[in-house]
Structure 1
Amino acid sequence: MKRTVLPFCLIVVVLLMSCGHKKRTSQEPLKPLEVGVMATMDGLPFLVAADKGIYDSLGLKVNFTIFLNETDRDASFETHKLDGIVTDYTSAAVLQSKGIPLRSVMQNDCCLCLVTRVGGKMNSINQLKDINFCTSKNSFSEYAAEFVLHKAGIPLNMVNEPEINQIPLRLLMLQGGQIDATFLPDPYASIAMNIGSHSLITTGDLNINQSTTIFSRQTLKKKSESVKALIKGYNLAIDYLLSHPKSDWGNVLTNQLKVPENVIGLIALPSYRHAQAPDLGEVNKAIVWLKTKKMVKDEYTGTELVDSSYIENDNNPIQVREKIKKILKRHARRKYQ
């Protein structure tokens, strides 16, 4: 009997040491992230999570770079200046088809509005013939433009599609009558309508959503826990946005997205949900469209584009509310110390 006791004790000690080691490992500091977002509403929850101290409470340091056009955003990602970006499936597929190792880890909530030039008389998508319909190359806006033209039965050769990547420039040209229509995200769509543009239809009406967050494979390999914390903070920010008036978070719109104060009250939030797994149906539609545009090779399938493993089940709503209260109290104390 004595011979069996010693090995058993040793096993217990080893197991305890192993458990202790795992605990220390789980408490290692999270590695910082560099994330690029457009000055649009699909990235707002990330920015609110940073502003309200949610990421601080999770022990995550995130530096957000805000872009006004997709070209600069994608170039920063390609040159490894950013770990991840908020983009769309079309842009993500083009980047991956060029040999850039990346994964789409979540779907964001975004809505584009088809707005017309100030003073224009269009009131239906059936009137989109023989106009300057401005888009951004290989992006959600171009995808949505061709989607709505197909819905209206208008051939592409009956529309001039100038490509302008800078969202503020598209807004200015719309205001000046240099273009007739374009898809704009909020807050720019609300700004356009505030100065006299009209909205004909939205991507929500068309039931399409191409917005997603992607990360490089290297980041997912070396900073996976940080990416999980980023998404957790995103979900907490969604709960915050849906439970607090604009007066509590409007400063993010004015200070970071540069929204005029007189427009803030006009902006409607997208139908925000907790982070969703990438929509494979939307991914496939984007790839088929890109192939018709000859922007990706026929052999590109996109089977390695999506990684849904970072999406967790929603937390208990009561627990979430209590957690947000604690985070905001800690943030307020730090702010006034």
Structure 2
Amino acid sequence: MNKIKIYLLTVLTISILIMFAGCSKKEPTTLTIGVLPNLDSIPMILAKENGYLGEHIELSYFKSAVDRDTALQTGNIDGTASDLLSAIFLKDNQFDMQVTSKTQGAFAIVTTPGLQADAIKADTSIGISSNTIIEYLTDIYALSQDMGLNKVAIPKMPTRLEMLQHGKIDLAMLPEPLAHAAVLNGGTYVTTSDAIGTNPAVMIFSQASIDKKAGLISDFYRGYNQAVDYIKDTDRETYMDVVMEKAGFPPTTRDTLTLPAYEHASLPDESELERVNKWMLEKELTKQTYTFDDMATPQFIE
């Protein structure tokens, strides 16, 4: 009888252990990154396509920054390529997130066909999107040239590009590769974000995702850095077709688009945040002065 009791107790114990083991086993977690059709998406696209990100990290493609930011705030994506202005707006709206690195997006001012860059004068019209990185870069450029441009608010980028090409505005600030598409259609480069000397493009992740998925975010950055090395070591002909397809870039830009000199992930300069914050305070877009520690974490930078 005692042997039977011992046997039953052993079976019961094993059953309980198996049950708890099954309960503690979690389903694989997915990390979802939002990307727009900009140049800073290229290392992410190639990291995914080349298998550097593994099966639990996905990219979600967006056509507009508004849709991207909504997806971040509602938890449909964990992180995204964005900019410091958007990050400050999110902080102001009590959305808990962190800047985790800078990215290498590119922007440019382009003329309408037939207008030469040296013909720009005060009150020349320029198409922008208000209260965004586009207007920020435009103001920094105008200040550097001691020039008052006539800013025309055209929020939708395709509309801005179309108005530029039809002479409805003299200039437009556009992200690459749309700026390059405008040049191929007869426009002229006036300046670029690199020449202006400021670029507040960054990666941001929600704090909830940082708390719950830190391992996957670290995996994302390892894959990102691998993709940067791949771009440096590989003829662009090898990967441009997949980039054009996934990012949805204008087909005409494939062969002549200049890519940034991509670098391993690193944090933005503190001075970049200070400059953006100052501009937003002056325009009364925020009432807060944020420190670098308020906005950014070095947790994922190797």
| Structure 1 length-normalised TM | 0.77
Partner of 1:327: none
Return the offset for 1:204. 0.7
1:118 equivalent among 95, 113, 121: 113
1:211 equivalent among 193, 201, 208: 201
Change (3 A) 1:252 1:136: farther
1:96 equivalent among 91, 94, 97: 91
1:105 matched to 2:100? yes
1:144 partner SS: helix
1:119 partner SS: coil
Output the amino acid matched with 1:222. K
User: 1:145-164 residue pairs with structure 2 within 5 A?
Assistant: 145-155=138-148, 159-164=149-154
Output the amino acid matched with 2:37. A
User: 1:1-337 residue pairs with structure 2 within 5 A?
Assistant: 31-56=29-54, 60-123=55-118, 127-155=120-148, 159-298=149-288, 300-301=290-291, 303-312=293-302
Distance (whole Å) between structure 2 residues aligned to residue 233 and residue 304 of structure 1? 27
Output the amino acid matched with 2:205. F
Return the offset for 1:301. 4.7
Return the offset for 1:110. 2.1
Output the amino acid matched with 1:105. T
Return the offset for 1:245. 1.3
Contact 1:187 1:259 (C-alpha < 8 Å) held by counterparts: yes
The CA deviation string for residues 161-217 of structure 1, in whole angstroms up to 9 with x for no partner, is 223333233222211222221222221121111111100111111211111000000
Distance (whole Å) between structure 1 residues aligned to residue 60 and residue 159 of structure 2? 19
Output the amino acid matched with 2:193. T
Contact 1:86 1:211 (C-alpha < 8 Å) held by counterparts: yes
1:103 partner SS: strand
1:64 partner SS: strand
Contact 1:69 1:167 (C-alpha < 8 Å) held by counterparts: no
Distance (whole Å) between structure 1 residues aligned to residue 38 and residue 49 of structure 2? 16
Distance (whole Å) between structure 2 residues aligned to residue 261 and residue 145 of structure 1? 27
The CA deviation string for residues 121-169 of structure 1, in whole angstroms up to 9 with x for no partner, is 3336xx24223212223322111100011111124xxx33223333233
Contact 2:113 2:165 (C-alpha < 8 Å) held by counterparts: yes
Contact 2:41 2:247 (C-alpha < 8 Å) held by counterparts: no
Contact 2:62 2:68 (C-alpha < 8 Å) held by counterparts: yes
Change (3 A) 1:260 1:98: closer
Change (3 A) 1:78 1:289: same
Q: Which stretch has the larger CA shift, 28-37 or 266-275?
A: 28-37
Output the amino acid matched with 1:133. I
Distance (whole Å) between structure 2 residues aligned to residue 32 and residue 311 of structure 1? 21
Distance (whole Å) between structure 2 residues aligned to residue 223 and residue 183 of structure 1? 36
Distance (whole Å) between structure 2 residues aligned to residue 208 and residue 250 of structure 1? 27
Distance (whole Å) between structure 1 residues aligned to residue 45 and residue 281 of structure 2? 34
Output the amino acid matched with 1:66. Y
Output the amino acid matched with 1:310. F
Distance (whole Å) between structure 2 residues aligned to residue 188 and residue 175 of structure 1? 12
1:278 partner SS: coil
Change (3 A) 1:222 1:170: same
Partner of 2:22: none
Q: Which runs of 5+ in 2 are unaligned?
A: 1-25
Output the amino acid matched with 1:113. A
Contact 1:68 1:168 (C-alpha < 8 Å) held by counterparts: no
Give % identity. Answer: 26
The CA deviation string for residues 88-133 of structure 1, in whole angstroms up to 9 with x for no partner, is 1111111111111000000111221111112223336xx2422321
Distance (whole Å) between structure 2 residues aligned to residue 128 and residue 65 of structure 1? 41
Contact 1:97 1:300 (C-alpha < 8 Å) held by counterparts: no
1:147 partner SS: helix
| Structure 2 length-normalised TM | 0.86
Q: Which runs of 5+ in 1 are unaligned?
A: 1-27, 313-337
2:173 partner SS: strand
Aligned length: 279
Contact 1:113 1:189 (C-alpha < 8 Å) held by counterparts: yes
Contact 1:117 1:174 (C-alpha < 8 Å) held by counterparts: yes
